[in-house]
Amino acid sequence: MKDLTSAVEHRQEHRFARSRDPRSAAKILVYHPEPEDYVVGIRRALPDAEVVFGSDPDFLRQHIGDTEIILAPRFPVEALQDAQRLKWIQSTNSGVDFLVPVRERLKNTLVTNARGVHGEVMADYVLGTVTMLHWDFPDLLRQQAAQQWKPKFVDPLSGKTIGIVGLGAIGAEIARRAKSAGMTVLGMRRGSARLGEPVDQYYTREEFDEFLSRSDFVVLVVPATTETYKLVGAKELSAMKRSGYLINISRGSVVDELALIRAIGDGQIAGAALDVFEVEPLPPTNPLWTMPNVIVTSHIAGNPTEYPRRILEIFFENARRYLAGEDLINVVNLARGY
């Protein structure tokens, strides 16, 4: 493998400076609770690189000083003050909100994420929970456990409207799945519409209340930023239909959880499917665990099988580009937070 530090200047706003002997091998730090699959793959594909791995903050502090590349889902950002040669952070997640508060320290560091890995499986999750909420599968399962035989009549999903907040790669895939089910699709995003998106009508942030009032299912697919903090609170929940459902696959900080619990308990909305929470793991005392019209999952909506392999495909493509001085894929704009 060519030395990673021999990359020419990046053509975007970031540049890779040669801060040490160009003949030395790059040091790649894998900071992950389950690093084995990543480490084996990297060592096989990049045999000249020095690869260290661990998941302990002391390990991170010990090695970050001369590390050139970090691959991690997240890490204690305090360690960045000791980073002298860091050029590139490859996140194994899509969200990199933990880096936003320290973005000034990363002006000369490229950050890339796992965009593209999660779209299909998250769309599966959303359409699955839409169906479960629509049919009230939690109650059907309770009936099964009690050996109760009850008739039920349900409107077809093709007569329902889904509102998707955040039409990036994941949101667009959800829109395609919903449209294939015959649903009316509403969308809200920053920026203009994209050609070919299966969205029936777009809304701006200023039109959020109308968007919510029209949606039978509101799906949140936005990054955690200052702009999206508690995007959905008591006011927004009161704008939803009483028969409406909230589905959150973004971040727990996007929803005012206490307001949501109250809205569901008071019958202000019909229920929710939640994969993310303000505190994770969700504490045993949280009422969401036992609310009859709430589906709780443990932040798994974006977990396809063979996850390390999918991440390494992105990492190796970016390593090739890094060496060649080409633009990397999945570059994150930390000023925006995604």
* Phi, psi (rounded to 5 degrees) for 149: -115, 105
* Phi, psi (rounded to 5 degrees) for 30: -100, 110
- Quick check: is 32 catalytic? no
CB 28 within 8 A of CB 46: yes
Closest by CA position to 243, among listed 270, 261, 264, 262:
270
Closest by CA position to 185, among listed 177, 110, 299, 193:
177
* Phi, psi (rounded to 5 degrees) for 259: -65, -35
Please tell me the distance from the alpha carbon of residue 321 to that of residue 16, in angstroms, as a whole number. 12
CB 139 within 8 A of CB 132: no
Please tell me the distance from the alpha carbon of residue 27 to that of residue 2, in angstroms, as a whole number. 13
Closest by CA position to 139, among listed 271, 299, 274, 249:
271
Take residue 335 and report the two structure tokens written for it.
């000023």
Please tell me the distance from the alpha carbon of residue 31 to that of residue 63, in angstroms, as a whole number. 10
Q: Residue 28: which H helix or E strand, with range?
A: strand 27-31
- Quick check: is 280 catalytic? yes
Contacts of 47 by beta carbon, 8 Å cutoff, 6+ apart: 1
CB 130 within 8 A of CB 162: yes
Distances (CA, A) of 186 to 141, 156, 214: 31, 18, 9
Catalytic residue, from 134, 299, 310, 321: name it. 299
CB 217 within 8 A of CB 163: yes
DSSP symbol at 253: G
Catalytic residue, from 9, 78, 227, 280: name it. 280
Provide the annotated active-site residues. 251, 280, 299
